[in-house]
Amino acid sequence: MLFYHIRLRCYVVIELKVVEFMPEFAGKLNFYVSAVNRLLRQDDDNPTIGLLICKSKDQTKVEWAFDSIQNPMGVATYQGIKVTDKLPSIEALQERIKLLEAQLEQSAGRE
């Protein structure tokens, strides 16, 4: 996936993997980041950032795989990305559905 971060003023390349981190992923992500830098990045943009999101990772493998890569890149796991605390709970969603159903019933009764 390719995004442009307005505040950072840079492109962000995100690659999702459904498997454990493998060292060859670093080279592929580096290729994508380099391609975006050469093809899309403008002079006033900051360097492109690469983010690899994997099922799991071995920190030593990650460090060795990225050791000589100069582009800004990182690796995260699904568990390392905290979005669940930003989402409503199941109970809150169920309450919202009940409220909407009640509103629909009231609307139907007025017609």
Query: For 23-37, what is each residue's pLDDT tens digit?
Result: 999 999 999 999 999
Determine the Cα–Cα distance for residues 94 and 97; give it in Å rounded to an integer.
5
- Phi/psi of residue 58, nearest 5 degrees: -105, 120
pLDDT exceeds 80 at position 65: yes
**Mean model confidence pLDDT for the chain:** 88
Over residues 1-11, the pLDDT tens digits come to: 999 999 999 99
Tell me, yes or no, if the pTM score tops 0.85.
no
- Encoded amino acid at 100, one letter: L
pLDDT score of 79 more than 80: no
Among 55, 37, 59, CA closest to 46: 37
Gyration radius of the chain's alpha carbons: 21
pLDDT band at 105 (very low <50, low <70, confident <90, very high): confident
